[in-house]
Amino acid sequence: MTHVSVKVDGAAYEDEVEPRLLLVHYLRDRLGLTGTPVGCDTSNCGACTVDLDGQSVKSCSVLAVQADGCAVTTVRGLAVDGEWTALQRAFHERHALQCGYCTPGMLMAARDLLRENPRPAPDEVRQALEGNLCRCTGYQNIVRAVLAAAGTTPAPGDSADPTRSAGSAGSADRAEEVPA
Ligand code: FES
Ligand code: FES
């Protein structure tokens, strides 16, 4: 067993863990923080995405011992004093989810994008979320929500499609495709 000292969503934890324990299983099974789902367990779907010391990571591809001494933020840690962030509100208001299984990972990856690029272009949003799979939505509203949170969505009545890339006719259709 290996000792880990980690802060998760602002709370400090000390534990003895098996060196092979994955961070996602530590969060869910040891700490009971089930807001971070396991979608594939093979680093493909992105559902398990969390923030590890400022970097968005797939927590099924990180060992709990690698988080020793780190701060982890999960989807549960996003709201401030019970108030959703603009990004969370945008997902809600833009219907950017159906079953919601991918949503924690989408929110964490989108948050990471907006931190580094507060005004992303639609294609940059798609690129940033390409490691996060959604089986339900077709991605269109997810992209819209991220753009809305970034303040880049045109006002109602504006003919511009916020999911369409400037100067690339037909690119809006790509939102229907599964990101690579
Ligand atoms: S559960 Fe981690 S990427 Fe799918
Ligand atoms: S909303 Fe169901 S997987 Fe994305």
Q: pTM higher than 0.95 for the full model? A: no
Examine the pLDDT at 178 and tell me if it is beyond 70.
no
CATH number reported for the structural domain that contains residue 68 in this entry = 3.10.20.30
Sheet arrangement for strand 11-17 = 11-17, 2-8, 71-73, 49-52, 55-58
- For residue 180, how far is its CA from the centre of ligand 2 (angstroms)? 16
In a domain, 22, yes or no: yes
Residue 65 structure tokens = 């011992």
Residue 74 CA to residue 104 CA, distance in Å, equals: 8
The DSSP string of 20-39 is: T-BHHHIIIIIS--TTS--S
pLDDT (average), residues 99-103: 97
Residue 71 and residue 101 share a domain = no
Q: What percentage of the chain has pLDDT greater than the value 90?
A: 81
- For residue 127, how far is its CA from the centre of ligand 1 (angstroms)? 18
Residue 161 and residue 120 share a domain = yes
Please give the angle made by the CA atoms of 110, 115 and 120, to the nearest 5 degrees.
65
Q: How many domains does the chain have?
A: 2
Ligand 2 near 118 CB (within 6 A): no
Domain residues for the domain of 159 are: 86-175
Choose between 10 and 180: higher pLDDT: 10
Residue 165 and residue 94 share a domain = yes
Residue 108 and residue 63 share a domain = no
Residue 125 and residue 60 share a domain = no
Examine the pLDDT at 14 and tell me if it is beyond 90.
yes
